[in-house]
Chain A
Amino acid sequence: MTIRFTNDHEWIKLDGDIATVGITDYAQQALGDVVFVEVPEAGRHLTKGKDAAVVESVKAASEVYAPVDGTVVEGNVALADEPSLVNTDPEGAGWFFKMKIKDMAHFEALLDEAAYKSFIAGL
């Protein structure tokens, strides 16, 4: 399984041709207690850099952007009842949505784990 990251603190895990997207541990820590998540529905077309989901902490609402172009195959319905999964297991049960990637070259071009680690180390 290959993983990539964005400067917006999302992770994208590839399994076959389906990518699972969520926000990183760094992002959930910065957000604080997550109280609401809105995930996209299956079939929705996403454009890289455009709104894909919404995550709200006690204090503020933040947009989650599509890391690459593609089509949503599933949103994580568990987050509707248990948004705190984003805090407790951001890179596991707290995933946001799964998508079919349009162009794999866009996925490959994202940050790898080492590059993301050095990116957040510089923040």
Chain B
Amino acid sequence: MGDTSLLRTPLYDLHVELGAKMVPFAGYDMPVQYPLGVLKEHLHTREKAGLFDVSHMGQVRLRGADIDTVIKALEALVPGDIAALAPGRIRYTMFTNDQAGILDDLMVTRFEDHLYVVINAGCKAEDLAHLKAGLPAGIEIEYLGDDAGLLALQGPAAATVMARLLPEAATMGFMSARTATIQGIPVQISRSGYTGEDGYEISVGAADAEKLARLLLAEPEVAAIGLGARDSLRLEAGLCLYGHDIDTGTNPVEAALTWTISKRRRTEGGFPGAAIVQAQLAAGPARKRVGIQPEGKAPAREHTEIQDLDGNRIGEITSGGFGPTAGGPVAMGYVTAASAAVGTRVQLIVRGKAMPATVAALPFAPHRYFKG
């Protein structure tokens, strides 16, 4: 059992012990589901709390002569307003290329003396090369690699659970981070995630990762959740999956990610592809990422053709499946600007048959981030 060419996270043995079905994902042997199954794991996360192993993602620290130098250097590669981040605050942004195509999406945390960045597992090698090539000499890139694990605790009970182990976690603001100690384990904890629920992401040394995971799993509200439910949760939350909803062929304006670009960055530019982003912000993009609500019960999967009611091709589904919380099929995809308004009736070509659908507001499951 087990493919030896695949990498393993520090929680590999725990996944196997828990009876996970392991599958290759971005070069790692990862749990796609546990005996509970994708459907119940999804619902458990929305009702209580789910623990996810996201150690396959890349964790990177960027340091330089001073923090302002590091911020300025990173801003040359991303459209996000990193300078506006107060210490301990987090922002979602993306690496763009000269055509404004998205190379990867990432989370950036500003600490007092450095930036901490989390990148997608499948983009790690390219991102690290991109950082090396794109950041000036003097910026140190520390890739945490296999020395660090990353856990996500997500769901309405996440705060209650975490407070038992770390009381100060309860009052942490959404998209904030700090270092802390949980039962002797040094961690970096942030109030963030990718399910649409309240929750935390915890960076922990590889040697302590399993101990921390077991502490969390011992709490009655917590169940281990695999990549299958992670995907349906983020889809219902309207969040992009790199390589599917966004890639080098899509830019942040088309991808409806303009909320991540501040007024200053729109005005000043200074990131790869800025001129294209500015032009599309002014004129509007030719196509746009939207939610798609199929009317029947059949899920519309990735690459399903989207047509207008006259049968003209207007785009395609980039993520689609069954939404356990929505109780039916949900999808997102790109359509031409003329068809992008919420409520526009379209049709999806599923197995050769036209299926009625509507352009829908995202998310399908309301975000329940901490607002305290």
**Which A residues lie at the B interface, using CB under 8 A?**
32-33, 35-36, 38, 54, 56-61, 80
> For residue B329, which residues in chain A have a CB less than 8 angstroms away from its CB?
36
8 CB-based A-B contacts, threshold 8 Å: A32-B38, A32-B228, A33-B39, A36-B297, A36-B298, A58-B322, A59-B321, A61-B299
- Cβ contact within 8 Å between B228 and A56: no
A58 touching B351 by the CB < 8 A rule?
no
* Inter-subunit contact B351/A33 (CB<8 Å): no
User: For residue B232, which residue of chain A has the nearest CB?
Assistant: A58
Minimal beta-carbon separation of B313 from chain A (angstroms): 21
CB neighbors of A among B4-44 (8 A) = 32-33, 37-40, 42
A33, A38, A56 — most chain B CB neighbours (10 Å): A33
Instruction: Specify the main secondary structure of chain B where it touches its partner.
Output: mixed
**Chain A: CB-nearest residue to B351:** A54
Q: Which residues of A contact B33 (CB under 8 A)?
A: 32
A36:B322 contact, CB within 8 angstroms: yes
Q: Does the CB pair A58–B298 fall under 8 Å?
A: no
Count the A-B residue pairs with Cβ separation under 8 angstroms: how many?
42
B301 at the interface (CB under 8 A from A): yes
Q: Does B273 contact A (CB under 8 A)?
A: no
For chain B, which range describes its interface: under 10, 10 to 19, 20 to 34, or 35 or more residues? 10 to 19
How far does the alpha carbon of A60 sit from the alpha carbon of B23 in the complex, in Å? 14
Chain B proximity of A54: nearest CB distance (Å): 7
Q: Which residues of A contact B228 (CB under 8 A)?
A: 32, 58-59
Cα distance A36–B351 in the bound complex, in angstroms: 14
The contact string, 1 if C-beta is below 8 Å from chain A, for chain B 261-294, is 0000000000000000000000000000000000
Closest approach, in angstroms, between the C-beta of A98 and any C-beta of chain B? 22
- Whether B351 and A56, one on each chain, are in contact in the complex, defined by CB atoms closer than 8 angstroms, is no
Q: Are B297 and A58 in contact (CB under 8 A)?
A: no
Measured between beta carbons, the chain B residues less than 8 angstroms from A33 are 37-40
Q: Which B-chain residue is minimally distant from A33 (CB atoms)?
A: B39
Interface centre among A35, A36, A54, A80 (most CB of B within 10 A): A35
- Complex CA–CA separation, A119 to B71 (angstroms): 60
**B40: chain A residues within 8 A (beta carbon):** 33
* List of B residues within 8 angstroms of A59 by Cβ: 32, 38, 228, 231, 321
Q: Is B324 engaged at the interface, CB distance under 8 Å to the other chain?
A: yes
**Which chain B residues numbered 144 to 189 have a C-beta less than 8 Å away from chain A?**
none
Determine the distance from Cα of A80 to Cα of B39 in the docked complex, in whole angstroms: 18
Q: Which of A32, A56, A57, A60 contacts B298 (CB 8 A)?
A: A56
- What 8 A-B pairs come out closest when comparing CB atoms? A33-B39, A35-B322, A58-B38, A58-B322, A33-B37, A36-B298, A36-B297, A56-B299
Q: Chain B residues near A61 (CB, 8 Å)?
A: 299, 301
How far is A85 from B54 in the complex, measured between Cα atoms in Å?
33
Residue of B nearest to A51 (CB): B351
Instruction: Out of A32, A36, A80, name the residue touching B299 (CB < 8 Å).
Output: A36
**Complex: chain B residue closest to A63, CB-CB:** B351
A41 smallest CB distance to B (angstroms): 13
Q: Which residue of A lies closest to B328 (CB)?
A: A35
In the complex, A41 Cα to B228 Cα: how many Å? 32
Chain B: CB-nearest residue to A35: B322
A38 to B324, CA, bound (A): 19
Q: Is the CB of B297 within 8 A of A80?
A: yes
Nearest-CB residue, chain B, relative to A81: B297
What residues of A have a CB within 8 angstroms of the CB of B42 in the complex?
A: 58
Apart from A32-B39, A33-B40, A38-B298, list 4 A-B contacts with CB within 8 A: A32-B33, A35-B299, A35-B322, A38-B351
Given A38-B298, A58-B228, A61-B299, answer yes or no on A32-B37 (Cβ-Cβ < 8 Å): yes
Residues of B close to A60: CB separation below 8 A: 301
Closest to A57 in B: B38
In whole angstroms, how far apart are the Cα atoms of A16 and B147 in the complex? 65
Counting chain B CB atoms within 10 Å of each CB, the highest count among A57, A59, A80 belongs to: A59
